[in-house]
């Protein structure tokens, strides 16, 4: 499915499809665990049908789910862009940058997962197709932020490597601001 095709479906239809695929997941996994060793062909067939249907339903809402995950990050895009710009221009120390970006990004991640499960709230938010994939840039920073330590013996990255990763992220983030008023 194309990202712009999801906007041709009604929001209610997308919410119902996501809710139904979650339902199929919730019933399918416990059944697969309980009957994983069965030799009963009907049960095996039923489990395959449920798994196929679940996967098909998830496929139908993959982009919608991504937009939902992007939503909290997108709402904070100005904040992230400003922090990354300040860091790249040496206005923020590494430790200040980490604390100012890591905790909000972890909070956005929690909010995104909550939103995916909150079918009522989904109906009340405005999704922007321009936000598609924005969360990936910020969430990909989480292991980098968590992996840096001022003590070179404890850090997974040198300061130069850390700065290079953040500089590359700024390039990606700024692309989302092209043609935005």
Average pLDDT in the chain: 91
Write down the pLDDT at residue 60: 85
At 49, list the tokens. 């049908």
pLDDT digits (tens, 9 = 90+) for 82-136: 999 999 999 999 999 999 999 999 999 999 999 999 999 999 999 999 999 999 9
Query: Measuring CA to CA, which residue among 124, 80, 128 is closest to residue 106?
Result: 80
In the predicted structure, residue 2 carries a pLDDT above the cut 70: no
Q: What is the pLDDT of residue 11?
A: 82
pLDDT for position 180: 65
pTM above 0.95, yes or no: no
> What's the sign of the alpha-carbon dihedral 157, 161, 166, 172?
negative
Domain spans, the chain: 10-175
Judging by beta carbons within 10 Å of its beta carbon (0-12, 13-18, 19+), is residue 26 exposed, middle or buried?
A: exposed
Q: Dump strand ranges (E) for 15-134.
A: none
- Structure confidence by residue, pLDDT tens digits, 62-88: 999 999 999 999 999 999 999 999 999
Helices marked H in 89-147: 94-117, 119-122, 134-139, 142-147
Helix 41-75 and helix 11-34: axis angle, to 10°?
A: 130
> What's the longest Cα–Cα distance across the chain?
66
């Amino acid at each position: 499915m194309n990202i712009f095709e999801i906007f041709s479906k009604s929001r209610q239809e997308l919410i119902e499809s996501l809710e139904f695929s979650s339902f199929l997941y919730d019933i399918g996994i416990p059944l697969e665990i309980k009957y994983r060793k069965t030799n009963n062909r009907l049960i095996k067939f039923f489990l395959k049908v449920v798994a196929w249907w679940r996967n098909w339903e998830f496929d139908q809402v993959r982009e919608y789910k991504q937009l939902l995950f992007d939503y909290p990050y997108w709402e904070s895009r100005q904040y992230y862009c400003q922090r990354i710009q300040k860091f790249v221009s040496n206005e923020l120390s590494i430790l200040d940058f980490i604390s100012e970006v890591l905790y909000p990004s972890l909070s956005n991640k929690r909010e995104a997962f909550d939103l995916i499960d909150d079918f009522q709230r989904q109906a009340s938010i405005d999704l922007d197709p321009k936000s598609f994939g924005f969360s990936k840039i910020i969430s990909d920073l989480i292991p980098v932020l968590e992996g840096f330590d001022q003590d070179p013996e404890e850090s997974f990255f040198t300061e130069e490597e850390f700065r290079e990763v953040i500089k590359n992220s700024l390039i990606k983030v700024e692309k989302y601001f092209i043609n935005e008023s």
